[in-house]
Amino acid sequence: MSATPRLRSRAGAGLAAWVLALLPGCTTTMTTIATPPHLRDGPPSLAVADAALASGLDDSALQITRSILAVHPDDGAALLRQGDILLRMGRPGAAAEAYRRARDALPHDAAPLRGLGRIALAQGSMAEAEASFRAALAAAPDDAAARNDLGVALDLQGRHAEAQSLYRTTLAQAPDDTAAEVNLGLSLSISGHGAEGLALLQRIAANPSAARRVRHDLATALVAAGDVPAAQRILAADLNETQVAQAISGIERLTAPAP
């Protein structure tokens, strides 16, 4: 199954996203825009990098992290931010190198381990991803993002009961954690509890502020429930006909019963 870093992790991608995000045309295209004046002056800092990211200036943000690291090559926070930016730009190899350096600089921080795990997950290296997420949880036992990420890795290995236990743990601690709630709905949908999972995802998707990804997650649950036409209608709001067909094919592989 195809995959990408955002089931749903800290910022994003759900199980459906792991299918959809690598389809041609489904990933976000990074654009280079002239740096606005308020970002041109002053020494480079992560605050300025964040301002660039908020403006959609990923290349500028990346250059700022490089400027910081040219002076402070072991700055763990800058390395971590650089890894996040590179992953967002679709450069997993360079992102992994930044995360590894951040891990060395921040040996007790869960974030670099999460980043490495998400890259491994996207590349289909499930055992490596699971190990990274477990290491992140060992470093930060209350890290909901690491717990959700581990759940995704387990779900994608067919270990749904273990994954659902993790999502429920997160929801017991933070009932409003939408990522864990969506992950639980997807996990239920692909593990023989379709009605329960579908009802959960329909409720989340009914929120007017629900992200596009949540609609795609609902489409996954609908395919698992056998309602492919309804899933196609949902996906058609965001994808062209070819992409819808590719997405449905990927979701059908994802939701197919284990042999």
Percent residues over pLDDT 70 in the chain: 82
List, for residues 41-79, the tens digit of each pLDDT value. Answer: 556 799 999 999 889 899 999 999 999 999 999 999 999
Say whether 52 sits in a helix, a strand or coil: helix
Residue 49 forms part of a structural domain: no
Residue 201 forms part of a structural domain: yes
Residue of 130, 51, 38, 25 lying closest to 138 (CA atoms): 130
Residue listed under structure tokens 């250059």: 63
Residue 212 forms part of a structural domain: yes
State residue 40's pLDDT score: 47
- Give 196-232 as a DSSP string: HHHHHHHHHHTSTT--HHHHHHHHHHHHHTT-HHHHH
Residue 194 forms part of a structural domain: yes
66 near 82, Cβ under 8 Å? yes
State residue 211's pLDDT score: 86
Residue listed under structure tokens 């930060």: 140
Amino acid identity of residue 52, one-letter, is A
Residues 6+ positions from 99 with CB-CB distance below 8 Å: 79, 80, 83, 112, 115, 116, 119
Record the tokens describing residue 8, joined without a space: 């749903």
Residue 182 forms part of a structural domain: yes
Q: How many distinct structural domains can be found in the chain? A: 1
State residue 42's pLDDT score: 54
Which residues span the domain enclosing 227? 178-258
How many Å apart are CA 27 and CA 25, to the nearest integer? 6
Residue ranges in the chain whose pLDDT is less than 50: 1-7, 9-14, 16, 18-40
Residue 173 forms part of a structural domain: no
Residue 209 forms part of a structural domain: yes
Record the tokens describing residue 178, joined without a space: 């939408």
State residue 175's pLDDT score: 94
How many Å apart are CA 167 and CA 142, to the nearest integer? 13
Residue of 246, 215, 185 lying closest to 20 (CA atoms): 246
Residues 6+ positions from 222 with CB-CB distance below 8 Å: 198, 228, 230, 231, 234
How many Å apart are CA 118 and CA 125, to the nearest integer? 10
Entry pTM: 0.80
State residue 38's pLDDT score: 43
Residue 65 forms part of a structural domain: no
